[in-house]
Each structure stands twice: as structure tokens, then as C-alpha cells.
Amino acid sequence: MKFSIPKSEFHRGLARIQSIVEKRNTMPILANVLLDASGTTKSGKLELAATDLEVGIRGSHSCQVEKKGGVTASAKKLFEIVRELPEEPIHVSVSENAYLTIRCARSEFTLAGTTSDEYPTLPAFTPEKTATVPAAVLGEMIERTMYAASSDETRYNLNGVYLERLDDVGKLRMVATDGHRLAYVDRSFGTELEALAGGVIIPRKGLSELKRLVDEDDADEIELGFEGNNGLARKGDVTLVMRLIEGEFPNYRQVVPSEAHISLVMPTEPLVHALRRVALLSAERSRAVKFELSSGQLSLSSNNPDLGDAREELDVDFDGEPLSIAFNARYLMDALGVCRAKEVRMIFKDPLSPTQLVPTDDADSLAVVMPMRI
């Protein structure tokens, strides 16, 4: 195996797979990247692939191939070497004992590798139907929901984001919840979404990799497809495959209060800053912050028996029955941090019912936070 490739192209491909390679030693080979060179000197390609058996990515890069072949090598160490090389073509050759020789300008490295037939194969499937969606919109949907997904391994069906098509309005919805909070966002893509008819649960890691893919500079559109227990996302010459979460997503609609007694519009930034300040003296475990709403004023307070207490007041346009309710400050700040709106509408029912947060400029986006007893 022998090929030459521009440093920027090689670096980009290796950087893309760093978060996927398995860092635990359950299977040492999963810490490697698979390199497969094919084609000719004029029209060759280098395929870089990595998987942790749950999520895998495969990217194709133009290069000059003198000798075809495949090899695997430490993904981290190869990336670190390439990152430090000058902006000149990189020449890679592989010996019969699977050692890589990497040359660039006046630098030369020898890196131990293994034969490519030892590497696990990535799931290769082509869904019958796929849907093409704008990368920017998909990235926004992920950002507004992923924070609410559960990290509790015992609640496996909540360890991801639920993606479903809303047939009655022709929109796509993403939903996440960990039992204490919920977030969903609807978007209309104006394209054929038939391929996404059935609801699927995309795992957190798969969603994180998808977010990285849509955030790349040349990402305009992403092709999505699902079949059985597998999901696929494709952007140009890069294909991301993942194993979907099996199980049933809970009926999230019953968590959203159907009626509200108090609706309060607040400027987002001052509310976030006040929450951060008051939360500094909240109890370490609960992060509880108390909201006390009265005529023309919202008071935020916290108390930590070992440290002290904090209180801050905000002027609000409110003239109704007083309300006292408490929340985990981190849950509120997470929801407010991704709404990207100058103002947010907080909708209360009573001290024991979930509170809704809706950006005033986006009625198709919603966060729900459960109150606390203090």
C-alpha cells in the first residue's frame, strides 16, 4: 500500500473520526482507524473508517495511489502526527508487516499497524427511501433537544432523541426527555419525508456525531435514512451509520400541560444571568432556585445551609395571583441557553405542575421543566 495525499485533506479525515474510536480496551482494534487505498495515481481515493460497533463513519478522500491496499493504525497517534506536519503532501507506504512509513517534507515517522482484515466491518446498508434535509436546520433541531436526553443507562429508551414525522402538519419533530425535563422542536422541510415515517430513537453518541457532520463548513444538505435497527446520514463522500435504540419512547405529550393559568414574557439574557448568580449559593445536589412571582416583580432566591443564601429581583409585566415555585437551576439554564430568542414565554399552571418555556419568535419549539419540592 502506497499513496500521497494533501496534509489538509488527511488531517480533516482523521479529525472527523477521533470522537468515534473506542478509547476503552474492550477491543484494542477499535482504537484504530482503517485506511483503504484504491484507484490510480491520477484518480485514487483513500477511505478512512472508524467504529465503536454502535456508531461508525466512513469518508472518502482524493489522493494519488501508487499501490492499493488496506491497513489499520492508532487513530489518535496518526492524527497527532499528521496534525504537526507542515502543509505539504504526505506520502504513506505500508510494509509487509503492516508498519506505516509517513513522510512529509524532511520529517519521517514509522508507526506500527495491523492488517485491515482484522478490523470489524461497518454496517453496510442502503435504505429503500431517504430524505434530504438542510444541514443548518437539522443542526438547530439537535442543539435544541439533545441536552434533555437522559444519561441514565438504566433508562435506555431515553438515552437518545426521538425523531418522528407529524403527518397532520407535514413537519419533522425531535423530542428528548430524561424524566425531569423535556424539549421538542418542529420544523417543516418542504421535502418528501416519507422515508422518516416511523418514529426512531437516535442514540446520544450518534446524534453528537451527526451534529459534528452538519456543522462542517461544506455541509449544505444531509441525506437521512432508517431501516430496521440502523440509521444512516450521508454528506457527500462521508457516511455515518449508527445502531438505533430499540424500545418504545414514552408518551411525551401527556407531560405537556394542556392548560395554563399564568403566562409571563421575560427577556432571556437578564433571566439567564440572574439564574447563574443566584445558583452560586444553591444546594450542591439539588441546584434548587425558588421563583416567587408577585405584582410587577419576580424574585429568585437560593439557600445553602453551609454557605449562605442569595436573592435577586427582576421587574416583570405581571398583575395576578402570587405564585411560588422552585426549579433545578441547571435545567432552566440549559433550556434558556439553546432557545436563541431575545424573549422567552414562561407558562405556569401551579406550583406542582411542569412549566413551559417557549421562545417568543418560535412557537414550534418548546421546553418543559418539572418543578421541585423544597
Residue 292 inside a domain? The answer is yes
Do the Cβ atoms of 287 and 279 come closer than 8 Å? yes
Grid look-up 435504540 returns: 245
Query: Do 349 and 272 fall within a single domain?
Result: yes
pLDDT at 25: 66
pLDDT at 192: 65
Cell of 290: 425558588
Q: For residue 278, give its domain range.
A: 257-369
Cell of 70: 488496506
Rg, Å, the chain Cα set: 25
Q: Tell me which residue of 368, 334, 276 sits closest to 143, measured CA to CA.
A: 334
The predicted model gives 333-362 an average pLDDT of 93
244/64 Cα distance (integer angstroms)? 36
The predicted model gives 89-106 an average pLDDT of 96
Query: Do 271 and 248 fall within a single domain?
Result: no
Angle at 337 between CA 54 and CA 277, to 5 degrees: 125
Do the Cβ atoms of 330 and 148 come closer than 8 Å? no
pLDDT at 155: 87
- In the chain, the percentage of residues whose pLDDT exceeds 90 is 73
At 256-274, the pLDDT tens digits run 877 778 999 999 999 999 9
Question: Which phi and psi angles does 236 have, rounded to 5°?
Answer: 60, -120
pLDDT at 27: 87
Do the Cβ atoms of 54 and 242 come closer than 8 Å? yes
Q: Name the DSSP letter for residue 147.
A: G
Residue 288 inside a domain? The answer is yes
pLDDT tier for residue 177 given thresholds of 50, 70 and 90:
very high
CB atoms within 10 A of CB 88: 13
The predicted model gives 182-209 an average pLDDT of 85
Grid look-up 443566584 returns: 278
The predicted model gives 57-81 an average pLDDT of 96
Question: Is the confidence at residue 277, as pLDDT, over 90?
Answer: yes
Query: Do 15 and 107 fall within a single domain?
Result: yes
Residue 99 inside a domain? The answer is yes
Query: Do 57 and 108 fall within a single domain?
Result: yes
Q: Position 303: which residue type?
A: N
Query: Do 7 and 109 fall within a single domain?
Result: yes
Mean pLDDT value across the chain: 91
pLDDT tier for residue 197 given thresholds of 50, 70 and 90:
low
Exposed, middle or buried: residue 127 (CB in 10 Å: 0-12, 13-18, 19+)? middle
Number of domains in the chain: 3
Do the Cβ atoms of 14 and 48 come closer than 8 Å? yes
Find the CATH number of the domain harbouring 33: 3.10.150.10
> Which ranges of the chain does DSSP label H, i.e. alpha helix?
7-16, 75-84, 135-145, 204-214, 268-279, 329-338
More confident residue, 102 or 132: 102
Query: Do 153 and 234 fall within a single domain?
Result: yes
Grid look-up 424574585 returns: 299
Q: Name the DSSP letter for residue 140.
A: H
Query: Do 356 and 292 fall within a single domain?
Result: yes
pLDDT at 362: 93
Do the Cβ atoms of 93 and 111 come closer than 8 Å? no
Residue 125 inside a domain? The answer is no
Residues in the chain: 374
At 295-311, the pLDDT tens digits run 999 999 999 988 999 99
Residue 27 inside a domain? The answer is yes
pLDDT at 40: 83
Residue after which a domain boundary falls, among 62, 92, 118: 118
Question: Is the confidence at residue 181, as pLDDT, over 70?
Answer: yes
Residue after which a domain boundary falls, among 252, 274, 289: 252
Question: Is the confidence at residue 58, as pLDDT, over 90?
Answer: yes
pLDDT at 191: 62
209/185 Cα distance (integer angstroms)? 19
Residue 263 inside a domain? The answer is yes
Residue after which a domain boundary falls, among 72, 96, 118: 118
pLDDT at 316: 92
Query: Do 141 and 241 fall within a single domain?
Result: yes
Alpha-carbon dihedral angle through residues 62, 68, 70, 75, given to the nearest 10 degrees: -40
Residue 123 inside a domain? The answer is no
Residue 374 inside a domain? The answer is no
Grid look-up 452560586 returns: 280
Question: Which phi and psi angles does 258 have, rounded to 5°?
Answer: -85, -20
